């Protein structure tokens, strides 16, 4: 099995439209936001050799502005979960969190506020041993326990992954690592055919974006928490 960690983060199909640049994400018109939206997906656990659905995992949705709890659900025997969010006419500018013993706390941030139903919010959790292998051995990142780590997937407007992109963050990560041939490689300098990058030793509010000749990507901010694994997309 490829040690790609992020098989898919299909979380932007129902997000609001992106702004022109920086973190100025355009908010959807309130008249177009339904009274409730449903966020659904599969919770999977990954180690160095296997991927399996995780049952009984509480997935919680929060507002990013004040970290207030919005809604929650528990994954079933196949790892499926479904959260219903009351919008009050406003898109959800927030994130998901999943916790399970033996795995890093995992946060999933969309690249823009969510304004409609979507069913592809995959929550990909990794074991602490796998994370150590990725961060410290394969990426050579010397990950500190007092810092956070992120994995991002670069996609285009058609939801296809983007190879040949360079990912950056503000503040800068201690180390940016990319997959090469399905495995994290400390010598890789840009995204491979899976579009995945890892940002190590980041903490707090972090703006992420990507660059590639002929392409433009929109920056957005996430909160990288110490000792946790945060995932998101970078898109045009």
pLDDT of residue 13: 40
Q: Is the pLDDT of residue 10 over 60?
A: no
**What tens digit of pLDDT does each residue of 178-209 get?**
999 988 999 999 999 999 999 999 999 999 99
pLDDT of residue 29: 47
Q: Is the pLDDT of residue 8 over 50?
A: no
What are the sequence ranges of the domains in the chain? 30-234
Q: Is the pLDDT of residue 60 over 90?
A: yes
Whether this prediction's pTM lies above 0.85 is answered by yes
Strand partners, 54: none
Give the pLDDT band (50/70/90) at residue 32: confident
**What tens digit of pLDDT does each residue of 77-97 get?**
999 999 999 999 999 999 999
Rg (CA), the chain: 17
Q: Strand locations in the chain, DSSP E?
A: 36-46, 51-53, 58-63, 69-74, 80-86, 94-98, 106-109, 123-126, 148-154, 166-170, 175-180, 183-185, 196-202, 204-211, 220-224, 229-234
Superfamily of domain 30-234: Immunoglobulins (2.60.40.10)
Q: Is the pLDDT of residue 30 over 80?
A: no
Residue whose structure tokens are 């400390």: 186
Neighbour count for residue 191 (Cβ, 10 Å): 25
């Amino acid at each position: 099995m490829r040690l790609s960690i992020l098989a898919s983060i299909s979380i932007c199909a129902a997000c609001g439209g992106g702004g022109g640049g920086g973190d100025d994400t355009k908010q959807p018109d309130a008249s177009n936001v339904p009274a409730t939206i449903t966020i659904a997906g599969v919770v999977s656990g990954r180690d160095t050799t296997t991927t399996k659905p995780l049952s009984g995992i509480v997935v919680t949705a929060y507002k990013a502005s004040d970290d207030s709890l919005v809604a929650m659900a528990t994954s079933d025997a196949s790892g499926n979960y479904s959260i219903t969010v009351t919008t009050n006419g406003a898109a959800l500018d927030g994130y998901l969190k999943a916790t399970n013993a033996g795995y890093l706390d995992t946060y999933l941030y969309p690249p823009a506020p969510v304004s409609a139903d979507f069913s592809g919010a995959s929550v990909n959790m990794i074991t602490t041993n796998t994370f150590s292998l990725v961060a410290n051995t394969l990426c050579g990142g010397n990950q500190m326990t007092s810092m956070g780590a992120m994995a991002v997937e670069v996609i285009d407007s058609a939801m296809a992954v983007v190879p040949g992109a360079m990912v950056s963050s503000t503040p800068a990560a201690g180390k940016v690592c990319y997959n090469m041939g399905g495995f994290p490689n400390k010598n890789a300098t840009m995204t491979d055919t899976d579009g995945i990058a890892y940002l190590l030793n980041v903490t707090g509010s972090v703006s992420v974006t990507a660059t590639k000749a002929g392409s433009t990507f929109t920056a957005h901010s996430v909160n990288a928490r110490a000792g946790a694994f945060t995932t998101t997309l970078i898109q045009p």
